[in-house]
Structure 1
């Protein structure tokens, strides 16, 4: 028997995706979305088009800015919402796809990260890459028999070299999780590495080379068959990353608009859930603005610590820390390629003497003019350089992050090894995101299995009528969040 009434707690991207797919899966069920904010969409809704003195305009993103074509759940959503004409793409042949850089604190300048070939032997980063490659190839199976998970950095050190782990590993984690690689679960964040190690009998690189192409092709075809993609697969041929002409907020706005037109969906924004009481056949949900709700089923897309306040008996909701991130959009009155090299951007690795280095807490910089130029509406003779500086994450635990513009510009100058100061930007926008990215620590997968078991336990008051989804459960990327919402309620 389908649910009579589903309450979706949280109106971020996971909650909106959940409501969208639930309303299609159960057209006779009432779906109520409850969110404490007036503006729905969470971090993904931080998009703003700003007018320039010249009369043109630029799109500024405070959250995620690009997507990869390998998230079929997002491509399906784009197709179902009719957003294909709003998509802008960056081809694999572009500098933004080919060139990514790394800054090593204590060394002025940024270095191009080599691709997956022997070209790394001529790279400035070879002194950090080569020891890890050699160690993995010549070191046999060394995973302790009692280890079922470990940190990402521990994995890289065990299979490779501490310098490789600190420089390349920490930079990668800064770019995805804004977290400390020494605290991040390798199995939760990079499950394929664990699988490659097993396939290569310890040697990760061998495991990668031994991938069965036919097996991978069949697996991909089976996966694609589960999605309604329309022409999106063809659109994404030869594409490295993509976004929307008016920014990521386009996806959120289209979702909200679609939900508001559905007769079985209602949205309670600016409404905070104050209590959730499970009963034998329904829940009683009280809020600060409405009469109690009595849904038969509940989907929580709330941050796990917030859910812990409402349902303290659920396990592991506060097991993982979160990262706070500050994003600063800068627009300079110079053409692309003059201040920053052509490419996608650069990451900053952990300093050799931990996070106490005086580097303003910068995690990385994206060169938005390279991959997102199509978003900006500029007069014919105007060329601008638009970048986004990401700060904070693990730095917050060790130092106060100084986001003053002169401080940030001075550190960018050092990163770029410039003799002259950077010109004053004509536009600067600061976005401050508190506790926005969960860090799955070692043991996360097992903890989430135990949480799932608690949710479906027959003797529990919710008896399988409560699902918990979101970035704190499985994956922090925008694609992971949309996929989680797509799969919710499959067992109801």
Structure 2
């Protein structure tokens, strides 16, 4: 296959792919470029002079590849690469560690702290060959266990995913029995699901899968895949960005499955964005004609699912760095973080002024052209991931051979308290890097699970958590003889809901700041390798994509989008009187890590309080003399108090009190928060006094708090479980003492922070909402006195009568009915009053009022019948008119 010695034309074509060309490749961070006028980087060589000075901001793999290609294209230009750290390479880091195997043989193993393998692709293959690394490539063949055996841990065991079609029957039966395929019938029914509403411009990946197929598929399967790629939460990530192909198939064909079959059979591409953009198609065709790769090398790649290098991926970074240095026109500035950049106009030419360096010793330089690979936090938040590399001399520790396993969000907390994302079986997945045998693993933890954490586990804590996870999941209890713990802070961007709108706004904002001379650029051409092909392109004002961006940016989204939930909550919180909003902070309640010091499990008694109290007392007496400690916690609120009191007391096996503590956590809390605080204090005391072989029991009498140990929610929530909390206060010495301490503490001054909990804010919000509802009802009932023929007189409301909704009635139906009866909802006559609609007409060209929707409109006849069947309601006494009599029969 031909792929070597690419012409300069093709190299510059690679560097000129248009921004936003393909949404399926839209996961790249943008770059800014500034130059002497509106022309492409690839066009500069055809002008009389090349840019004199070019800056590349960021020394990761994107920055290095940018400097390499630009340095080759402009040999007469002075290029400066700015790197904030000691050496370029970004998150690609490899460490070789000396070890001994089970037989005492000395050797070394390779620990990858970041990415560890690449997918075969022409662009990457050409670069590998150009850098002279072919002889160091290690392959994972399609028949190797690392390619055929991939697993998902659910709910408490490894489940092998199918690797080929047709699926093997035993494998399918095993997956079905595990529950991992729950909701799979939703895939079969997907072609008949309703298409998304016209006004829905984006939704989360989880919401998209749940709407089109089944929520269980999203939680069990899809979330695992996104843990492995983005370490992200599918209920926050954008489907329009990260699931662009299915999103566009639904948009074009009304169905994902049906659209896919249509595309395969008829070679029809989805409307709006195709699987492969025409620019990319032409680029790949040109590359196949002009690039030349060694036939043996390419044959090995096509027979492999992934490949790496004998000395790890950092070998590629070092080779690329050497190639950049050999160009002679590229200078690498390390320890030079970018502090700022701004447009610079000199002699009628536009450039950019860059300030770099450590604070207190910065330098300012000007450039004709700047290419930035720096992160933009206004566009995407970032998550932190911890990787723990471990080596065991025993080569037979793994229960299975394969690439590894991922952990979905649906795995119970007790099976994943460390918040692991997945485990890679390095010794099985990638061969040819180690000089001794053994078992080599990488545990990945954190990601979105750690969002909002102010501090992260230490190296020692991370190692203990990894060993705990491996013992639970794989029954590996051996001690590793070598390990390395790496905390990569803010390492993976999260393309959350609304990302594309934010990107369009960013483009417009940058264009304004730099006088129309800035351009938004894709970072690196994301083929299947997510690496290495530089692309830049400037969109002219008449470019069709630029026109689309302008149109979207200028659209009044308020005319069709519902209020954003975050803004609603923010507005409500702001409206709470007599509260210093700066003191309200989002808290992660009682984030303790009991697995660091002791094993624990949560049990909720199913007995009545009286039965549990008797059983509890008998049990405590039976343990006399054992190495046993019982800790009781409780919370209380007193009418004469000024906050929530918390009491904790501990007893030895001889029934002697060994510890007591009382705390007032402030008035802006709920008793529920106090219950959680008491349990947390009990755990802290247990971790302090625990000795080997000692049993410690923590007792609480609040079921909601006990359940919240599994998900750390900040709200009490509701459960269908039987009301069985224990032991209660029925003659239980420990609970009585904890209750007494809590009541005493409630009368004292607060001893902890007075910031408000989210659960407390929720109750305040509910009070405001109820007050507003009562005021609205009063305005509603006042109308008939002014106008006897008013709608509110026809459809009377009685607050003393509960409208019973049959069990199983969809919430959308009941909510729509109540909205229409109140006269407030998302119908045009109401929205036009608040300038949210330009027109108040229905689709039948009559005013769209509640009366019209409930009584007249033929377009909603089916919906009225559904409403009639779903919500039976007491007949309302109406007067005279036939339409009113018709409404009486309907309702």
TM class, shorter-length: 0.7 to 0.9
Alignment of structure 1 residues 91-106 onto 2, 5 Å:
91-104=141-154
User: What's the offset of the Cα at 1:206?
Assistant: 5.6
Pick 1 or 2: higher relative contact order, CA cutoff 8 A, min separation 6.
Answer: 1
Rounded Cα–Cα distance in structure 1 between residues aligned with 2:483 and 2:51: 48
Q: Which residue of 1 aligns with 2:96?
A: 49
User: What's the offset of the Cα at 1:356?
Assistant: 8.7
Q: Which residue of 1 aligns with 2:61?
A: 13
Q: Which residue of 2 aligns with 1:37?
A: 85
Q: Which residue of 2 aligns with 1:79?
A: 129
Q: Is 1:339 the counterpart of 2:402 in the alignment?
A: no
Q: Which residue of 2 aligns with 1:310?
A: none
Rounded Cα–Cα distance in structure 2 between residues aligned with 1:404 and 1:248: 24
Distance 1:191 1:218, change over 3 A: closer
Rounded Cα–Cα distance in structure 1 between residues aligned with 2:94 and 2:538: 32
User: What's the offset of the Cα at 1:250?
Assistant: 1.1
Q: Is 1:301 the counterpart of 2:364 in the alignment?
A: no
Task: Give 1 or 2 for the bigger CA radius of gyration.
Answer: 2
1:161-213 CA distance string (max 9 Å, x none):
11111011111110000111111112322322224435653143661574259
Q: Which residue of 2 aligns with 1:283?
A: 352
Determine which of 97, 115, 138 is the counterpart of 1:64. 115
Rounded Cα–Cα distance in structure 2 between residues aligned with 1:222 and 1:238: 25
Q: Is the 8 A contact 1:366 1:389 kept in 2?
A: yes
Alignment of structure 1 residues 218-297 onto 2, 5 Å:
222-227=282-287, 228=291, 230-231=293-294, 233-280=298-345, 281-288=350-357, 291-297=363-369
Rounded Cα–Cα distance in structure 2 between residues aligned with 1:161 and 1:407: 33
Q: Is 1:437 the counterpart of 2:487 in the alignment?
A: no
What runs of 5+ residues in structure 2 fail to find an aligned partner? 1-46, 269-274, 541-891
Rounded Cα–Cα distance in structure 2 between residues aligned with 1:304 and 1:398: 19
Q: Is the 8 A contact 2:519 2:538 kept in 1?
A: no
Partner-residue secondary structure (3-state), 1:294: strand
Rounded Cα–Cα distance in structure 1 between residues aligned with 2:402 and 2:307: 15
Rounded Cα–Cα distance in structure 1 between residues aligned with 2:251 and 2:142: 31
Rounded Cα–Cα distance in structure 2 between residues aligned with 1:209 and 1:113: 27
Q: Is the 8 A contact 1:5 1:296 kept in 2?
A: yes
Partner-residue secondary structure (3-state), 1:150: coil
Partner-residue secondary structure (3-state), 1:131: coil
Rounded Cα–Cα distance in structure 2 between residues aligned with 1:17 and 1:293: 22
> Relative to structure 2, which stretch is displaced further, 327-336 or 442-451?
442-451
Alignment of structure 1 residues 471-482 onto 2, 5 Å:
479-482=529-532
Distance 1:217 1:411, change over 3 A: closer
User: What's the offset of the Cα at 1:223?
Assistant: 4.6
Rounded Cα–Cα distance in structure 1 between residues aligned with 2:434 and 2:515: 49
User: What's the offset of the Cα at 1:398?
Assistant: 7.2
Q: Which residue of 2 aligns with 1:143?
A: 196
TM-score by length of 1: 0.84
1:113-147 CA distance string (max 9 Å, x none):
12454446413256332523444535334222112
Q: Is the 8 A contact 2:138 2:431 kept in 1?
A: no
Determine which of 347, 351, 356 is the counterpart of 2:410. 351
Determine which of 489, 496, 506 is the counterpart of 1:451. 506
> Relative to structure 2, which stretch is displaced further, 201-210 or 22-31?
201-210
User: What's the offset of the Cα at 1:240?
Assistant: 0.8
Distance 1:113 1:95, change over 3 A: same
Determine which of 427, 433, 436 is the counterpart of 1:369. 427
1:278-328 CA distance string (max 9 Å, x none):
1122222122357422111111111113xxxxxxxxxxxx14211100000
Partner-residue secondary structure (3-state), 2:180: helix
Rounded Cα–Cα distance in structure 2 between residues aligned with 1:445 and 1:25: 31
Q: Which residue of 2 aligns with 1:122?
A: 173
Distance 1:444 1:118, change over 3 A: same
TM-score by length of 2: 0.48
What runs of 5+ residues in structure 1 fail to find an aligned partner? 306-317
User: What's the offset of the Cα at 1:31?
Assistant: 1.5
Rounded Cα–Cα distance in structure 2 between residues aligned with 1:24 and 1:297: 15
Distance 1:274 1:48, change over 3 A: same
1:202-231 CA distance string (max 9 Å, x none):
143661574259789998974533433523
Rounded Cα–Cα distance in structure 2 between residues aligned with 1:466 and 1:145: 31
C-alpha root-mean-square deviation of aligned residues, in Å? 3.0
Rounded Cα–Cα distance in structure 1 between residues aligned with 2:338 and 2:256: 49
Q: Is 1:161 the counterpart of 2:214 in the alignment?
A: yes
Distance 1:448 1:319, change over 3 A: closer
Q: Which residue of 2 aligns with 1:422?
A: 477
Q: Is the 8 A contact 1:199 1:207 kept in 2?
A: no
Distance 1:229 1:154, change over 3 A: farther
> Relative to structure 2, which stretch is displaced further, 136-145 or 57-66?
136-145
Partner-residue secondary structure (3-state), 1:52: strand
